[in-house]
Chain A
Amino acid sequence: MFSKHKALDRRSVIKGAATSAAALLATPHIAGAQAKVIKIGMPTILSGRVAQLGTSSRNAVMMEVEKINAQGGLAGRTIEVVVRDSKGQPQEAARVSRELINTDGCEILIDAEASSGSFAVQEVVKDLGVLCIHTCSETSSLTADPKIRVPNAFRVCRQGIHDSIAGGEYAAKISLAKGLKTWATCSPDYAYGRDSTQLFVEYLKLFNPAVEVTTETWPKLFQPDYTEVITKLLQAKPQALYSCLWGGDLTSWIDQASIYAMFGQMEVFAINMADYTALTVVKNLPKGIHSGNRYIKTFPKTERNAKYGDAYRAKYNEYPTNWSWENAAAMQFLAAASKKANSADGKQIAEALRGLKIESEFGQDGTMTMRAEDQTVIGYAIGWGTTIAQEPYVPEITAGNWAKILELETAWKKKSGYL
C-alpha cells in the first residue's frame, strides 16, 4: 500500500506545454478559494491494436487545452489533463475512471473509450456523479436509451443512427441513378458492425425500396485475412457493396480485394474510408469508393476547418482522425459551457451544456448543438463523397440533410422503445 501511495504523489501526468504560461495569464480570473488547477481525467486506449484511438484523442484534447488555457482556462482555472490507458478492457476502464476521480481528484472526465469501455465508464459516473463527456463511443443506445442515460454524462461524437440515415439516403440516390438493385454487405462481426449495417440497409431500403441485399459477410474484428470473405463476395456478384470495416482492418481488406480486382466489379460504399487513418495508409487507393466523412479537411469546406487540419498536422505530423475531431469538439463544448455558466463546477457546466449551441469548425453549418433531451451532439459535419488516389482524397462531399436525419431518428427512437 505504501509504495502505491508514494507513486500517487509522483504520478506521471501530461500537462499542456503552455500550462505554466497560461497560468500566469489566467491569474486575474481566479474564482474565490477554488484550486487554481482543474484536473480533467481521460480514460482511453493507448495500447494494443487500437492505440491510435487513444493517441489521436489525446493529441486533439491537448491541442484544445492549450488554446483554452491561453484564454484563461475554465472560469479562470487552468486545465490539467490526466490520461490513463485502459488497454481496451472494460473493467480497467471502470477502475481507471474511479481512480482518476477518487485518487487524482479529477473533476471532469473526457471518456475516450470505445464501445464496451464507455458503458463501463457510464456506470462509474452514474455512481460518482462526475461530469463526463463520451467522445469515442458511437453506439446510439449510450445516450438514446433512457435506462442507460444519466444526467451528468454527455456525448460529443458521431452517432451510429445519424451515420446510417445519412448513408442510406446518399446510397439510395446513387443506387437509383445507377440502377444498383442487388447489394452485399461486409462488416465486422461485433456490436458496431452489426448495428451500423442493419440500420444502413434499413434506411437504404426506405429511400429506395427496389434494393435487395443478397449476400452478407461477417469477418471477425481484427481478422488478418479476408480472402474467404472477398471470394464469397466475388461469387455473389452484387452490383453494390456496403462495408463499415475501419482502420487497419479496412486497409487489409482493400489491399486484399484489390488483387482480386474487386473494386472494378461493384460499386463500393465503405462508410469509414474517408478517414485519414485509412486514406493516407493505403497505397494505390482505388478510385471512386463512396465513403462517409470522418474527419476531412475538405468538409465542411471552410477556411477554419482546413486550418485546423493543417495546424494539427504541423503539430503531430499526421492528420486528425475521426476521434480527433470528436475530442476536440468535446473540449470546445466544455469551454463554451464553462464560459456560459461562468463556473468550472461540474453541475453548473452540465446545466449550461444542455441545449448549448457552439461555433465550431466541425459543425455542418459552422455550429453544433448539444441536444438537451438526450445530451448528445447534433449538427456535426456529415456527408458522403468518392475517393481519389491522392490528396485531398475526397475532393467533393455531399452534405447530409440534418432535418431529415433528425426526423427519422425520432421515428427510430419511438420504434426502439426509447421514447
Chain B
Amino acid sequence: MDLIALANCLVSPSCLVTQTTSGLIIGLLLFLVAAGLTLIFGVLNVVNFAHGSFYMMGAYFAYTVYVFTGSYALAIVGAALGVAVFSIVFERFFMSRVYGGNVLMQLLVCYAFILILDDVVKIVWGPEFKSMGMPDYFRRPPVFIAGGVIPVFYLFLMGMTALIGAGLWLIIGYTRFGKVVRAAAVNPQMVSALGINTGLVFASVFALGGLLAGLAGALAVPVRSLVSGMGFSILIESFIVTVIGGMGSIVGAFVGAILVGMVRSYGSIGFPLFVEGLMFLLMAIILVIKPSGLFGKEA
C-alpha cells in the first residue's frame, strides 16, 4: 500500500489529468465490450460468455484489413461489420436453439465457441503475437494539458467511444428499433403478439452487441498485441463491469466501466499489488449490498 503516493497524486493537477484520462481510456474501451454484453443480457436474458472472443475477432479483422489496405478507417468499419455478421450467424444458428432453457446450456455453447474461435485464430493467423502498430497520422507527440500527458491517439479514442456511446443512447432511447428492444426486454411475448418478428429483434441485438465488441477490438488494436486467447481477460473485466453496473443496464455498464477504469488507474498508485483484487472486492461488495448491481432492476 502506498497511500501517501495516492494522496500526493490527488493534489497534483498533472497527476490528476494523466491518471483520470488513463482511467477513462481503460474504462471507455471496456464500456464498448460491456455495453454489448449487458444489452444482450437485458433483451435476451442470455449471458454471452463468448463476448471476449467477439472482441478478439474484431481485433484480428481490423489487423487484417489494415495490413491489406493500409487504411485504419476501413479497418474499423471492416471489423465492426465483420463481427456483427458473425454475431448474427452465432445467434441464429446456435444461441437461438438454447434460449429459455438452462443457463448451463448457453454456457456450454459459448464455451464451445471460445475454444473453437481461439483455435481458428491460431490456424488462420498463427500462434505468435502480432502487433499492428500505430497508424501514421496518430504518430505525433502527446498533448499536454495542465501538466498532464495525453497521447493524440487516446484523444481520438475517447472521442470515438463518446460518439459511439451517444449513438447507442440515441438508438435505444429514441428509435423505433430501440423501443422494440426495450419492450422485448420487458415482455417478449407481448412484442411477438404485436406482430413483431422477435427472432429478427434478437438477431439485431446480437448484431449490435457484436458490432460494439468489434469496434472495441478495432480501436484497441493499434496499442494492444494480438494473440489467440486475448479475449479472456477482456471477458472477465467486462463481466465485472456489467455485474457492478447491473446486468441489462447500459447506463450501468458505462458507470461500471468508468469506475473500474478509475480503480485501475488510481489503484495502481495506491495499491500497486492489489489492483485486480480491488476489482473483485468492489464486485463482491456491490453484489452483497445490491445483488442486481448499481443500476440493475430488482429480480
Chain A contact residues, CB within 8 Å of chain B: 46-49, 51-52, 54-55, 189, 216-218, 220, 222-225, 227-232, 234-235, 247-249, 251-252, 255-256, 258-261, 277-278, 281-284, 318
Contact = CB atoms under 8 A, between A and B. Distances in A.
B269 interface: yes
A48 B264 CA distance: 25
Interface stretch (B101-109, B123-131, B287-295): B123-131
A277 B128 contact: yes
Given A52-B129, A252-B225, A283-B133, 9 more contacts: A47-B122, A217-B268, A218-B272, A225-B223, A228-B23, A231-B19, A231-B265, A248-B226, A259-B153
Nearest to B122: A51
A231 B223 contact: no
Contacts of B234: 224
14 contacts: A46-B127, A224-B220, A224-B233, A225-B26, A225-B223, A227-B22, A227-B265, A228-B264, A228-B268, A235-B18, A251-B225, A252-B225, A259-B142, A282-B131
B284 interface: no
B134 A261 contact: no
B282 interface: no
A232 B229 contact: no
Contacts of A51: 122, 127, 228
Nearest to B265: A228
B275 to A, nearest CB: 8
Contacts of B130: 281
A283 B230 contact: no
A260 B122 contact: no
Contacts of B272: 216-218, 232
B77 interface: no
Interface in B212-259: 220, 222-230, 233-234
Contact of A283 (B25, B132, B226, B273): B132
B204 to A, nearest CB: 29
Contact of A259 (B22, B26, B118, B152): B152
A150 to B, nearest CB: 31
Contacts of B9: 235
B160 interface: no
Contacts of A235: 9, 14-15, 18-19, 269
A255 B223 contact: yes
Contacts of B177: none
B138 interface: yes
B117 to A, nearest CB: 13
Given A227-B25, A228-B268, A232-B268, A255 B18 contact: no
A220 B264 CA distance: 12
B149 interface: yes
Contacts of A49: 227-230
Contacts of A223: 233
A282 B149 CA distance: 23
Given A235-B9, A255-B133, A260 B276 contact: no
Contacts of A227: 22, 25-26, 154, 265
Closest 3 CB pairs of A and B: A283-B133, A248-B129, A51-B127
A284 B234 CA distance: 26
A47 B149 CA distance: 38
B111 to A, nearest CB: 14
B225 A249 contact: yes
A47 B119 contact: yes
A252 B230 CA distance: 12
B178 interface: no
B29 interface: yes
A224 B25 CA distance: 12
Contacts of A232: 19, 268-269, 272
Contacts of B118: 47-48
